[in-house]
Structure 1
Amino acid sequence: MSTAYLEVPTILDRPEQRFPLDLGVRIPRIRDLLRNATHNQWNPATDVDWDALRPEDYTEEQRLGARYYWSRRAWSEYGAISESPTLQIRYCVGKFAPDMQLYFTLRSQEESRHAEACYRMAEKLGGYFEAPAKTEYQGAVATHGVRRAALDPDASLESTIAALVCAAEEIAFDVFRHLVEITPNPVARQICKFIMRDEVRHCAFGWHFIQSRLPHMTADEIENMRQAVITMIEKVELNGYHSAWLAPSSPSTEVEMAHDRLAWEAGLGAIVEELEKPIFAASLARIRAEMKNAWGIDIPMFRHHKYDTEI
């Protein structure tokens, strides 16, 4: 068996240099996020009013659709559970501001709560699914590559955070905000509201970090960051990572979309293509404008077969 892959260096190959240990405030806005996150912790087991779910009020078909939807939510949240400590390693090895290191200890907890809440929701509706119904769909929801990039010394941390947080998480936040507005079931709405409240801080972290780094970045580094954002949108988000209807057309994609529609019609927390299409386009427009205003970079328009015009 080839061992060539073992020879690829990562930041883990660098010697640890912990001292001098700096715990002072370097990015006050991120330190404020830490304090806010500490104050607003919640427990999926006890803070969600599970008795109000009333799964018996829904048909077996509706519960099945919602089980798939919430299982898929759990899969995407699970990815962040391993992504957070990987980034934490990067902060420590690179001796980035201690505010980032401290905040991400709670960010990891928040992502685990999101995954647990989604898992519990699927379980109470009849059972959590461990994998997509069709294996062809796994490529769309498996990973966005952040864990590998975080350990790659040639991938800048600014590029990773800009792509993951200021692009992908902003898109997810907009969807959760809409779900809070349209979801009738009180438990599904409560979970979306809890997750959205945490996502506000996750998104703010990204913008505060990049703003603190911009004065120290070269033109080439800023361009690399721009390209990372483009890749995240084009190759991950527009490939269906968060939304099944954006995935390449296939029988498995149709199955996932059918599950989403059943859950949405039942009011159990999902969203469907005709509602999410304008939200997704508006998210891209907002991100594009904010990156232009805050960072001075131009994010291009994108094409996707589900849209008649560029978005």
Structure 2
Amino acid sequence: MQTTIDIEDLRFDGGAHILVKHGLQGVAPGAELAVTGSGVDWQGELATWCRNQGHQCRFDGPGAQGGRALALVRRGDAQAGRWRGAMQSGHADPAREGAVAPLAQARWGLAARGATIEAGAPEMHFRLDQKSDVWVERAADLYAQAAALQWNPATAIDWDAQFTLPDMVEDAVVQLLTYMIENEVAALVVPARFLGQLHPHFREVQAVLAIQVADEARHIEVFTRRLRLKGREPALSTAGGQNSLKTLLDEPDFSVAEFLLSVLGEGTFVSLLHFLHLHAPDPVTRQIARLAARDEARHVAFGMMHLQGRIEQEPAFRTRLANAVQTRNDALAGTPGLNEEVFDALILLAAGALTPAAIASGYLRVQELMVDMAEGRQARLEKLGFDKQAAQQLSALHTRNFM
């Protein structure tokens, strides 16, 4: 039995096409839908719409609806003139939830993964279009965890806590935070740079990088707010420190950059934040260090998961990582290491007092921090498959600027 719809006097530029489209959904491809109407030139509008949509349309004289003209629309292929990225030879079907293609096509553009893409859509070229170069199997889980653990700087930190520090101690906090801010700026810029080069097909990785950028922006905000809490201005930024960070910004390879920044740099920074949490001279700095360390640990986890997956598929990639560490070490060989003022600030905070015995104790604790940083790097390197000796050597080559 033929289906008939009446669009009455509704024009196609007023929504009549929706009624016809809905009617066609109820008939099989190749079957006909009868349409009647009473608007001015509705037949011409219908014919034009059908032609654009890939359907056939003919008029068959008066219909049963009060003798008005009857149009018969033969449903065509809804995908005529279109294509789906899933049809590309050798690709995983992106329409299936969780499936990711090994190579993201430029012609997929900004479309949602699995969307039907109309012919004529512009090609958009993203440099990071290969799954093996960027993928992390648990990226969606990491994003969900990060989203659940976001914190509001205005409420998560007790900015009204009452404390007064000796000028020398406050100066030490300000110097350390000045140093930490520039490192967090680098940790923001690196994922942000790759985010703009990443094909949207890899949406889970895109989401993780975006939330990492948000994390770092929040860290910069709270470090700056604490720095100015007692009316101070930022302290010294050294040429050596910025040279060290520039090598991270200059690294063009996503995996190598993740290795240098997240696995080595941010991993070392987690140790520094734990140290600051333990030895912070005031509650605000202590709270900031705890929250920032939690965020940075997720960034390290993402880098480790990505590199473990890539090395599993490409064991020889370890050689590239080792070469990157050596190259960076060579590039920084003629520059100073850690800002001396930062080193002294760490000693003073760990000492807790300005006496020979306390300073000696603070110095020892900072040396223990350096050992903890080195052992942490070595452990992560061993998890990536480097043998113990190679891991020790690469850990020792890591920049003295920590990040």
TM-score normalized with structure 1 length: 0.72
2:221 is aligned to 116
Q: Which has the higher strand share?
A: 2
Residues 1:222 and 2:318 are matched in the alignment: yes
C-alpha contact (below 8 Å) 1:77/1:115 kept by paired residues: yes
8 Å Cα contact 2:188/2:217 also seen in 1: yes
Give the counterpart of 2:271 among 154, 170, 174.
174
Distance of aligned partners of 1:144 and 1:254 in 2 relative to their CA distance in 1, 3 Å threshold: same
Superposed CA deviations along residues 56-111 of structure 1, whole A, max 9, x for unmatched, are: x222332222222222211211222222210213433xx78432111111110000
What is the CA–CA distance in structure 2 between the aligned matches of 1:179 and 1:237, rounded to whole Å? Answer: 28
Does the 8 Å CA contact 2:187/2:261 hold for their aligned counterparts? no
Aligned position for 1:50: 159
Indicate the residue corresponding to 1:148 in structure 2: 250
Do the aligned partners of 2:191 and 2:213 also contact (CA within 8 Å) in 1? yes
Q: Distance in 1 between matches of 2:215 and 2:197?
A: 19
The 1:262–1:222 alpha-carbon spacing in structure 2 relative to 1, beyond 3 Å, is closer
Aligned length: 264
Q: 2:147 and 2:383 mapped to 1: Cα distance?
A: 31
Are 1:86 and 2:193 matched, yes or no? yes
* Alignment check: 8 A CA contact 2:326 2:397 kept: no
TM-score (norm 2): 0.57
How has the CA–CA distance of structure 1 residues 284 and 238 changed in structure 2, closer, same or farther, with 3 Å as cutoff? farther
Cα distance in 1, alignment partners of residues 236 and 340 from structure 2: 16
Gaps of 5+ in 2: 1-104, 115-130, 354-360
Counterpart residue identity of residue 377, structure 2? I
* Contact 2:143–2:211 (Cα < 8 Å) also in 1: yes
Of 116-125 and 210-219, the range deviating more from structure 2 = 210-219
Worse-matched range after superposition: 39-48 or 115-124: 39-48
* Secondary structure in structure 2 of the residue aligned to 1:50: coil
Q: Report which stretch shifted further, 99-108 or 179-188.
A: 179-188
- In structure 1, stretches of 5+ residues that fail to align are 1-14, 241-245, 248-252, 307-311
Following superposition, the deviation at residue 291 of structure 1 comes to 2.3
**Structure 2 CA distance, aligned partners of 1:291 and 1:265?**
32
Is contact 1:166-1:287 (8 Å) kept?
yes
Q: Is the 8 A contact 1:119 1:128 kept in 2?
A: no
- Name whichever of 178-187 and 111-120 sits farther off: 178-187
What letter corresponds to residue 277 of structure 1 in structure 2?
A: Q
Amino acid at match of 1:128: E
Instruction: Please give the alpha-carbon distance, in whole angstroms, between the structure 1 residues aligned to 2:380 and 2:363.
Output: 25
Answer 1 or 2: which has greater helix percent.
Answer: 1
Alignment of 1:70-85 (within 5 A): 70-85=177-192
Match of 1:62 among 169, 186, 189: 169
Partner of 1:192: 289
Residue type of the alignment partner of 1:279: L
Instruction: For residues 127-177 of structure 1, give each alpha carbon's deviation from its aligned partner in whole angstroms, at most 9, with x where no partner exists.
Output: 231753xxxx2222452422221xx3xxx3222211211111111112212
Question: Identity percentage over the alignment?
Answer: 20
Greater radius of gyration (CA): 2
